[in-house]
Amino acid sequence: QVQLQQWGAGLLKPSETLSLTCAVYGGSFSGYYWSWIRQPPGKGLEWIGEINHSGSTNYNPSLKSRLLISVDASKNHFSLELSSVTAADTAVYYCAGAPVLYLLQTVDYFGMDVWGQGTTVTVSS
Protein backbone atom coordinates (compact mmCIF):
# COMPACT_ATOMS: atom_id res chain seq x y z
CA GLN A 1 0.00 0.00 0.00
CA VAL A 2 1.58 3.24 -1.17
CA GLN A 3 1.48 6.16 1.23
CA LEU A 4 2.62 9.76 0.76
CA GLN A 5 3.99 12.14 3.37
CA GLN A 6 4.56 15.76 2.40
CA TRP A 7 6.21 18.70 4.10
CA GLY A 8 7.43 22.22 3.49
CA ALA A 9 7.17 25.84 4.61
CA GLY A 10 3.63 27.02 5.20
CA LEU A 11 4.09 30.80 5.34
CA LEU A 12 5.88 32.77 2.66
CA LYS A 13 6.33 36.41 1.73
CA PRO A 14 5.64 37.68 -1.79
CA SER A 15 8.53 37.03 -4.21
CA GLU A 16 9.86 34.10 -2.17
CA THR A 17 10.12 30.52 -3.46
CA LEU A 18 7.64 27.86 -2.36
CA SER A 19 9.34 24.54 -1.67
CA LEU A 20 7.57 21.25 -0.84
CA THR A 21 8.74 17.64 -0.74
CA CYS A 22 6.73 14.42 -0.86
CA ALA A 23 8.07 11.07 0.35
CA VAL A 24 6.73 7.81 -1.04
CA TYR A 25 6.43 4.78 1.23
CA GLY A 26 5.61 1.28 0.02
CA GLY A 27 4.87 0.15 -3.52
CA SER A 28 6.93 0.76 -6.63
CA PHE A 29 8.34 4.28 -6.97
CA SER A 30 9.05 3.70 -10.65
CA GLY A 31 5.53 2.46 -11.34
CA TYR A 32 3.86 5.83 -10.81
CA TYR A 33 3.66 9.32 -12.20
CA TRP A 34 4.00 11.76 -9.29
CA SER A 35 1.97 14.96 -9.35
CA TRP A 36 1.42 18.21 -7.48
CA ILE A 37 -2.09 19.68 -7.26
CA ARG A 38 -3.26 22.77 -5.40
CA GLN A 39 -6.58 24.12 -4.16
CA PRO A 40 -7.04 27.82 -3.30
CA PRO A 41 -9.37 28.51 -0.36
CA GLY A 42 -12.97 27.77 -1.37
CA LYS A 43 -12.02 26.94 -4.94
CA GLY A 44 -11.43 23.90 -7.14
CA LEU A 45 -8.43 21.73 -7.87
CA GLU A 46 -5.60 22.95 -10.10
CA TRP A 47 -3.08 20.52 -11.57
CA ILE A 48 0.45 21.91 -11.22
CA GLY A 49 2.64 19.29 -12.86
CA GLU A 50 4.03 15.78 -12.73
CA ILE A 51 7.26 13.80 -12.86
CA ASN A 52 8.24 10.17 -13.22
CA HIS A 53 11.07 8.21 -11.62
CA SER A 54 13.51 9.11 -14.38
CA GLY A 55 12.80 12.84 -14.18
CA SER A 56 10.51 13.26 -17.16
CA THR A 57 8.17 16.18 -16.41
CA ASN A 58 4.94 17.75 -17.61
CA TYR A 59 3.95 21.20 -16.37
CA ASN A 60 0.82 23.33 -16.29
CA PRO A 61 1.50 25.91 -19.02
CA SER A 62 0.19 28.72 -16.81
CA LEU A 63 2.83 27.99 -14.14
CA LYS A 64 5.68 26.66 -16.25
CA SER A 65 7.85 29.79 -16.13
CA ARG A 66 8.01 29.67 -12.30
CA LEU A 67 7.93 25.92 -11.76
CA LEU A 68 10.47 23.19 -11.07
CA ILE A 69 9.50 19.64 -10.17
CA SER A 70 12.36 17.30 -9.36
CA VAL A 71 12.83 13.72 -8.20
CA ASP A 72 15.30 11.88 -6.00
CA ALA A 73 14.62 8.24 -6.83
CA SER A 74 17.30 7.06 -4.39
CA LYS A 75 15.21 8.49 -1.53
CA ASN A 76 11.76 7.89 -3.09
CA HIS A 77 11.13 11.63 -2.87
CA PHE A 78 9.86 14.22 -5.30
CA SER A 79 9.77 17.98 -4.83
CA LEU A 80 8.06 21.16 -5.98
CA GLU A 81 9.59 24.62 -6.26
CA LEU A 82 7.45 27.58 -7.32
CA SER A 83 9.30 30.87 -7.55
CA SER A 84 8.18 34.48 -7.19
CA VAL A 85 5.04 33.62 -5.25
CA THR A 86 2.16 36.05 -4.77
CA ALA A 87 -1.05 35.95 -2.76
CA ALA A 88 -2.64 34.11 -5.69
CA ASP A 89 -0.45 31.11 -4.86
CA THR A 90 -2.08 30.74 -1.44
CA ALA A 91 -3.61 27.27 -1.43
CA VAL A 92 -3.58 23.77 -0.01
CA TYR A 93 -0.93 21.87 -1.97
CA TYR A 94 -1.28 18.11 -2.45
CA CYS A 95 1.14 15.55 -3.79
CA ALA A 96 -0.41 12.55 -5.52
CA GLY A 97 0.55 9.44 -7.44
CA ALA A 98 -0.95 7.74 -10.49
CA PRO A 99 0.03 4.16 -11.34
CA VAL A 100 1.23 3.80 -14.91
CA LEU A 101 2.27 1.12 -17.34
CA TYR A 102 4.99 1.97 -19.85
CA LEU A 103 3.98 0.67 -23.27
CA LEU A 104 5.98 0.75 -26.48
CA GLN A 105 5.01 4.25 -27.57
CA THR A 106 2.79 5.54 -24.81
CA VAL A 107 2.09 5.47 -21.10
CA ASP A 108 -1.05 3.80 -19.75
CA TYR A 109 -2.33 6.03 -16.93
CA PHE A 110 -4.68 4.86 -14.21
CA GLY A 111 -5.55 8.06 -12.36
CA MET A 112 -4.27 9.55 -9.10
CA ASP A 113 -5.16 6.91 -6.55
CA VAL A 114 -2.88 7.95 -3.72
CA TRP A 115 -2.69 11.43 -2.19
CA GLY A 116 -0.67 13.19 0.46
CA GLN A 117 -2.29 14.86 3.45
CA GLY A 118 -2.03 18.35 1.98
CA THR A 119 0.05 21.35 3.07
CA THR A 120 -1.50 24.77 3.60
CA VAL A 121 0.69 27.45 2.05
CA THR A 122 -0.08 31.10 2.75
CA VAL A 123 1.62 33.96 0.95
CA SER A 124 1.38 37.20 2.89
CA SER A 125 3.54 40.20 3.58
Partner 1 sequence: SFELTQPPSVSVSPGQTARITCSGDALSEQYAYWYHQKPGQAPVLVIFKDSERPSGIPERFSGSSSGTTVTLTISGVQAEDEADYYCQSADSSGSYALFGGGTKLTVL
Residues at the site binding partner 1, with contacts judged by CB under 8 A: 35, 37, 44-47, 49-50, 58-61, 94, 96, 106, 109-113, 115-118
As measured in angstroms, the least distance from the Cβ of 15 to partner 1 is 26
Query: Are 33 and 53 within 8 A, CB to CB?
Result: no
Residue number with CB closer to partner 1 (44 or 88) = 44
As measured in angstroms, the least distance from the Cβ of 38 to partner 1 is 10
β partners of residue 50: 35, 58
Residue number with CB closer to partner 1 (88 or 108) = 108
As measured in angstroms, the least distance from the Cβ of 100 to partner 1 is 12
Residue number with CB closer to partner 1 (38 or 77) = 38
As measured in angstroms, the least distance from the Cβ of 72 to partner 1 is 23
Q: Which region holds residue 116: left if phi is over 0, alpha if psi is between -120 and 50, else beta?
A: beta
Distance CA 19, CA 101 (A): 29
> Residue length, the chain?
125
Distance CA 89, CA 59 (A): 16
Residue number with CB closer to partner 1 (13 or 44) = 44
Query: Are 124 and 16 within 8 A, CB to CB?
Result: no
Strands 46-51 and 57-59: antiparallel
